[in-house]
Amino acid sequence: MNSLDFDFSKESPALLSIGEVLVRLRNEFEDISISKIRFLESNGLVSPERTPSGYRKFSLVDVERLRYVLRMQRDHFLPLRVIKQHIDALNRGLEPVAVGDIAPKPPRALISTQSLEVSDAVSSVRMNRLELIADTQSDPEFLDQLVEFGLVKPDSQGYFSVTASAVVSLGLTLRSYGLEPRHLKTVLLSASREVDLFAPIVKSAAAQRTPTAGAQAQELSLSLAALIISLHSLLVREVIDRQN
């Protein structure tokens, strides 16, 4: 697999010794050595697991990270500082750097506002504040207001989800009609109450002692949410019709 097409945001259960990693990389990088791999590790480009006795164990994702770093050094002469920024972006689900480019691509296609179906690749996207602003063409003050009123929320590391990007985009559209984030707090409260309606059903499904209980609960949650959203849309239309 070409490392430029590898999904760095996923993890792999396969663990390899540093010698096995060397064998996998040597066909493409003849001058690769154990000391080189250790050097890249010491600079934060890869973080292998450690056994209780201290031996390094690399995942397949680690191997592709190393392959990516070595290619960027060899083919584009990029410094490790820049490559590390690329790796960070790739780890957060942003588009890999194409050959000939020197910066990560914008995030993958965002969640559709018409559907709750989100692929694993898309849902893994995490953007920092500046990336979210650039992706949505928002202004910092507007994003700060959305955060203040709870409409979007960064995680513990300060990253925003792909859903947050969709919320910001819709918020900007609504602002063009005169609706500010403080007005949209009502929509958030309504959404919270709607989720509370079916939360006990999902919790009961998740409590089942089966290997697939978690996945089934997630699917049930999405199905119920889609039904509630459809009902909400119809009721909004019904209220409008009654007022006309």
Shared-domain flag, residues 48 and 69: yes
Q: Considering the domain boundaries, does residue 220 fall inside one?
A: yes
Tally of structural domains, the chain: 3
Q: What is the pLDDT, as a whole number, of residue 6?
A: 53
* Per-residue pLDDT, 111: 42
Across all residues in the chain, what is the average pLDDT? 83
Domain coverage including residue 231: 183-244
Question: Do residue 73 and residue 17 come from a single domain?
Answer: yes
**Is 98 a member of any domain?**
no
pLDDT value for 244: 81
Q: Select from 112, 75, 69, 113 the least CA-distant residue to 90.
A: 69
Q: What is the CATH classification number for the domain harbouring 22? A: 1.10.1660.10
pLDDT at 77: 85
> Looking at residue 93, what is its pLDDT?
78
Among 62, 91, 120, where does a domain finish?
A: 91
pLDDT of residue 113: 42
Q: Is the pTM of this model over 0.75?
A: no
Where is the domain boundary, 163, 179, 195? 179
pLDDT digits (tens, 9 = 90+) for 93-152: 776 555 555 555 544 444 444 444 444 545 567 888 988 898 888 999 999 999 999 999
Domain-embedded: residue 99: no
Say if residue 189 is in the same domain as residue 175.
Answer: no
Q: How far apart are CA 160 and CA 126, in angstroms?
A: 5
Span of 13-22, 75-84, 90-99 with lowest mean pLDDT: 90-99
Which residues have CB under 8 Å from 149's CB, separation 6+? 181, 182, 184, 185, 188
Is the residue at 101 inside a domain?
Answer: no
- Asked whether residue 190 carries a pLDDT value surpassing 80, the answer given is yes
For residues 34 and 86, state if they share a domain. Answer: yes
At residue 96, φ and ψ (nearest 5 deg) are -60, 160
Q: Tell me: the pLDDT tens digits for 203-234?
A: 999 998 888 888 899 899 989 998 998 999 89
Which helix (DSSP H) or strand (DSSP E) does residue 26 occupy?
Answer: helix 18-26
